[in-house]
């Protein structure tokens, strides 16, 4: 028989997938662009991040060595539409300074390291918190690190599947302990939760009554 530990979360995943279909999250973008997006989207609508990334492309600024070297004030003006632009310019430079220093900005080198080691390194970079670290690990490096975000927490606590007071690491463990550690699954699961959240579980105007989860006996 299949392991019984993961049936509920896998079942929920299947149902969400059938409801929404595939997400193709962060598609057709370079790993570097995903890293940049992961930082710029902190507490910010993706729409605004797109404007900033378009500008970075226009400036031909999407390279690790360039972002390590570029003047912070110049960079901050390019990413202004993404909000917190002075803070985020510093965070981008912190991250790319780390990426160049430790791995010469080479994806193959960083991917040679164990997931937990990279994660702890990322968390030591000022401006990279747990969600940003996991987004980089999962979406840019394609390593199986489950991404928890505000929607994940809100959806699961509203449906009483977790304690409202649960912290980030505990909630991440909750998923990783119960799901097979697969990049494809983690990627799609997080994407589906965000799509569900945007439609039915926003802070303002929540449409909880119409949430498809209600029809899925959990």
Partner DNA sequence: CACCAGGCAAGTA
Partner DNA sequence: TACTTGCATGGT
Q: Which residues in 173-212 contact DNA (CB under 7 A)?
A: 194, 198, 202-204
Complex with DNA: residue 66 or 168, whichever CB lies closer: 168
CB 133 within 8 A of CB 190: no
Query: Least distance (Å) from DNA to the CB of residue 89?
Result: 8
Q: Which is nearer to DNA, 25 or 66 (CB)?
A: 25
The nearest distance, CB 183 to DNA, in angstroms, is 14
- Long-range own/partner contacts, residues 82-86 (CB < 8 A, 24 or more apart): 82/40, 82/41, 82/44, 82/48, 82/49, 82/51, 82/52, 83/43, 83/44, 83/48, 84/42, 84/43, 84/44
Q: Which stretch binds DNA (CB under 7 A): 62-70, 101-109, 113-121, 149-157?
A: 149-157
Question: Of the candidates 62, 100, 150, 162, which one interacts with DNA according to CB under 7 A?
Answer: 150
Q: Does 131 bind DNA (CB under 7 A)?
A: yes
Binding part of the chain for DNA, among 95-103, 105-113, 129-137, 171-179 by CB under 7 A, reads 129-137
Enumerate residues 6+ apart whose C-beta is below 8 A from 17. Answer: 188, 192
Figure out which of the listed residues 53, 110, 125, 179 binds DNA, where binding follows CB under 7 A: 125
Site string for DNA, 66-85 (x = CB under 7 A): --------------xx-xxx
CA distance 42 to 83: 9
How many CB atoms lie under 10 A from the CB of residue 65? 12
| CB of 41 or CB of 145, closer to DNA | 41
Identified binder of DNA from the candidate list 5, 57, 101, 126, rule CB under 7 A:
126
Q: What x/- string results for residues 16 through 55 when contact with DNA is judged by CB under 7 A?
A: ---------xx-----------x--xxxxxxxx--x----
Q: Which two tokens stand for residue 139?
A: 């979406």
Binding residues for DNA, rule: CB under 7 A, are 25-26, 38, 41-48, 51, 80-81, 83-88, 125-133, 135, 139, 147, 149-151, 168, 194, 198, 202-204
């Amino acid at each position: 028989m299949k392991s019984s530990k993961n049936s509920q979360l896998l079942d929920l995943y299947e149902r969400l997938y059938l409801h929404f279909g595939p997400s193709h999250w962060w598609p057709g973008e370079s790993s570097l662009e995903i890293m940049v997006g992961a930082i710029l989207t902190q507490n910010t609508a993706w729409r605004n991040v797109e404007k900033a990334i378009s500008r970075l492309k226009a400036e031909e600024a999407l390279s690790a060595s360039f972002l390590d070297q570029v003047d912070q004030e110049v960079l901050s003006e390019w990413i202004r539409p993404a909000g917190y632009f002075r803070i985020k310019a510093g965070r981008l430079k912190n991250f790319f300074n780390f990426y160049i220093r430790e791995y010469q900005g080479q994806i193959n080198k960083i991917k040679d390291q164990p997931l937990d080691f990279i994660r702890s390194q990322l968390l030591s970079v000022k401006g990279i918190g747990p969600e940003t670290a996991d987004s980089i690990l999962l979406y840019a490096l394609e390593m199986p690190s489950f991404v928890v975000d505000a929607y994940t927490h809100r959806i699961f606590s509203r449906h009483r599947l977790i304690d409202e007071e649960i912290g980030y690491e505990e909630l991440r463990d909750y998923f990783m302990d119960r799901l097979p550690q697969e990049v494809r699954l983690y990627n799609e699961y997080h994407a589906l939760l965000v799509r569900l959240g945007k439609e039915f579980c926003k802070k303002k105007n929540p449409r909880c009554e119409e949430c498809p989860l209600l029809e899925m006996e959990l």
